[in-house]
């Protein structure tokens, strides 16, 4: 009779590491897929569509309390970009009877013009724009030491994803390539992947900087600067269950925060959206063939000047506070109007749009003293990541600044803003910066159809920025001051003013106060009345004319 012997297979530590890492990676990607799928169902019920996961799991919508005590309830997502998302938010106030939060609404009463003269009451829910910034995704990393060396490695989140995929491939198809040391090292990366969501101090400091700029400006009193209503740093545990335990060598100052919330007035209209709505960047070929979906309706000369005057007002207020914006462009201007039902309207009258300058993330002091040649390289690199190329002046490109020993070397960011204002003014006329367009070759045919200034988008290059502002055919070598703008034709003095702002020599380029004086002269010439800045109008000299009548929109 034979005796059976049980045999046990011995599993090596490296095999255990491989299996553990493989299982962990699979679970991690399942979690990513679930998060992606669930984002399609997390639309708030206010939107009238979509399915809310909270209805299945019984979770209440998140309520945030800001540093000034203001409480809001988060609504649906309305925009996203980079590491930030924008949501609707609704203010809440405690119910006097129960003490529980309740939604706050604004009630507007309007008199009916019917024969019965009855009054109708419309309830409009007050709304804010809530910006959520992920403070753990931009420069998150994982550190580890290789077993056979003292070399420290640093990987971004994207590289960690790539390493995970490489590790899975080697595990499945090339197991002999994996040495013991490599297995341990790579396993450490996979197992500690969640540590990549540790707070990024640079992003947190950037949020604090932007909030500080908002609060150092006269935003609550100035009509053309976006007001910050609240700031909150928070810990989002849904990003990572273990993130609160990390930190270590990265410091302890902000380890409890990985999300920043900023609350702003809800302004649904933008300057870029208005330009798109008016078809100012109409494709000439579409127009000539009649295949376009809607007619091109450029701003009138007066509307352009009123809009630009408001933006100039906001920039002037920043410069007076010794702050430069550094990223002025069409996309960073909102249009506020009570005529559209925007809540929290602080300043606009019915039927008028007021430009509001936003995005203070790139702001800084008005001037900067350059201490060395190496500092110039840092300025160029910083400008490449924090400014928009078609609106960037030559001095912020490689070779645009010179350092001279024994003399004071100062970079005037105020004049950087002036250059950008010139590009923005051109964009009000033609839809985009002068350094990323070419005028249509069929201008004579287009002008026969009473359509002037049609352009097409081309690539913006450093060489184009070193060139001159392109002039439309009717403005070349003449003094034609005709044209009200409604057909795309503007007076030549408008283009001369743009050239006055967009001067390549930064020493000759005017400062913001010289620009305001020159603009007042232009306003009188083309509109027939003085341009009254907000500061002057608020002092009792007249009303603010930096809003334009939108009744024709």
Task: Give the model's pLDDT for residue 549.
Answer: 45
- 210 by Cβ neighbours in 10 Å (0-12 / 13-18 / 19+) ranks as buried
Residue 262 · residue 358 · CB < 8 Å? no
Q: Is the pTM of this model over 0.75?
A: no
Across-strand partners of 130? 87, 263
| Other CB atoms within 10 A of residue 494 CB | 23
Task: Give the model's pLDDT for residue 458.
Answer: 93
Task: Give the model's pLDDT for residue 244.
Answer: 37
Give all domains of the chain, ordered by start, each with its CATH number: 62-135+227-266 (3.30.200), 269-549 (1.10.510.10)
Angstrom distance (rounded) from CA 50 to CA 41: 6
DSSP assignment letter at 537: I
Task: Give the model's pLDDT for residue 48.
Answer: 42
Task: Give the model's pLDDT for residue 390.
Answer: 97
- 3-class SS letters over 437-456: EEECCCHHHHHHCCCCCCEE
Task: Give the model's pLDDT for residue 106.
Answer: 41
Q: Please, which residues have CB within 8 angstroms of residue 250's CB and are 6 or more apart in sequence?
A: 198, 199, 201
* 210: enclosing H helix or E strand: helix 201-216
Q: Which residue has the tokens 């040649």?
A: 373
Task: Give the model's pLDDT for residue 126.
Answer: 84
Task: Give the model's pLDDT for residue 506.
Answer: 95
What the block records as the tokens of 315 is 């920039």
The pLDDT profile of the chain, 553 residues, written as one tens digit per residue, is 556 555 555 556 666 666 666 676 777 678 767 766 765 555 444 444 444 444 444 445 688 999 889 999 999 999 887 778 999 999 987 655 555 555 544 433 333 333 333 444 444 468 999 999 988 754 333 343 333 344 444 444 455 555 555 655 555 555 555 454 454 454 444 444 444 455 678 888 999 999 999 988 875 678 899 999 999 998 876 554 333 333 333 444 445 678 999 999 999 999 999 999 999 987 655 555 554 456 889 999 999 999 999 999 999 999 999 999 999 999 999 999 853 334 443 443 334 789 999 999 999 999 999 989 899 999 999 999 899 999 999 999 999 998 887 677 899 999 999 999 999 999 999 999 999 999 887 655 566 566 788 888 999 999 999 999 999 887 777 676 777 778 888 999 999 999 999 999 999 999 999 999 999 999 999 999 999 888 887 764 334 455 544 433 3
Residue 92 · residue 54 · CB < 8 Å? no
Determine phi and psi for 162, rounding to 5 degrees. Answer: -65, -45
């Amino acid at each position: 009779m034979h005796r059976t012997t049980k045999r046990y297979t011995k599993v090596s530590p490296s095999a255990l590491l491989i299996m553990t890492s493989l299982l962990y990676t699979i679970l991690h990607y399942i979690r990513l897929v679930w998060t992606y799928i669930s984002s399609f169902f997390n639309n708030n019920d206010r939107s009238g569509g979509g399915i809310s996961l909270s209805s299945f799991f019984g979770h209440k919508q998140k309520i945030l309390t800001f540093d000034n005590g203001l409480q809001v309830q988060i609504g649906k997502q309305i925009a996203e970009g980079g590491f930030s998302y924008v949501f609707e938010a609704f203010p809440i106030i405690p119910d006097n009877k129960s003490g529980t939060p309740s939604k706050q609404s604004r009630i507007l009463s309007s008199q009916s013009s019917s024969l019965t003269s009855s009054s109708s009451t419309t309830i409009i829910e007050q709304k804010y724009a809530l910006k959520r910034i992920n403070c753990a995704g931009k420069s998150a990393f994982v550190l580890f030491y290789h077993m056979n060396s003292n070399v420290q490695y640093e990987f971004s989140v994207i590289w960690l994803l790539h390493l995970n995929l490489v590790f899975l491939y080697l595990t499945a198809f090339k197991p002999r390539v994996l040495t013991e040391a490599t297995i341990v090292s790579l396993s450490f990366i996979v197992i500690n992947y969640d540590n990549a969501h540790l707070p990024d101090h640079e992003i947190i400091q950037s949020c604090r900087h932007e909030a500080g700029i908002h609060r150092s400006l006269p935003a609550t009193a100035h009509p053309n600067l976006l007001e910050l209503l609240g700031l909150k740093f928070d810990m989002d545990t849904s990003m990572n269950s273990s993130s609160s335990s990390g930190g270590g060598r990265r410091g302890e100052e902000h380890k409890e925060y990985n999300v920043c919330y900023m609350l702003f007035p809800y302004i649904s209209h933008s300057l870029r959206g208005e330009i798109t709505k008016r078809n100012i960047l109409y494709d000439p070929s579409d127009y000539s063939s009649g295949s376009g979906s809607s007619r091109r309706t450029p701003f009138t000369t007066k509307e352009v000047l009123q809009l630009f005057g408001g933006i100039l007002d906001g920039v002037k207020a920043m410069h007076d506070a010794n702050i430069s914006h550094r990223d002025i462009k069409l996309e960073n201007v909102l249009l506020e109007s009570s005529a559209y039902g925007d809540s929290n309207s602080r300043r606009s009258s019915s039927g008028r749009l007021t430009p509001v300058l936003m995005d203070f993330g790139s702001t800084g002091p008005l001037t900067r003293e350059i201490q060395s040649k190496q500092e110039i390289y840092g300025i160029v690199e910083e400008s490449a990541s924090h400014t928009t190329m078609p609106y960037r002046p030559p001095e912020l490109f490689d070779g645009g600044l010179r350092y001279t020993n024994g003399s004071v070397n100062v970079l005037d960011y105020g004049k950087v803003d002036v250059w950008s204002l010139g590009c923005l003014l051109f964009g009000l006329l033609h839809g985009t910066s002068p350094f990323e367009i070419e005028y249509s070759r069929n201008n004579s045919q287009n002008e026969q159809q009473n359509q002037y200034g049609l352009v097409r988008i081309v690539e913006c290059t450093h060489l184009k920025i070193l060139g001159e502002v392109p002039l439309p055919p009717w403005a070349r070598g003449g003094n034609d001051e005709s044209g009200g703008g409604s057909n795309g034709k503007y007076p030549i003095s408008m283009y001369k003013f743009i050239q006055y702002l967009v001067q390549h020599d930064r020493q000759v380029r005017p400062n913001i106060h010289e620009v305001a004086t020159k603009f007042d002269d232009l306003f009188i010439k083309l509109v027939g009345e003085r341009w009254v800045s907000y500061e002057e109008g608020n002092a009792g000299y007249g009303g603010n004319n930096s809003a334009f009548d939108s009744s024709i929109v």
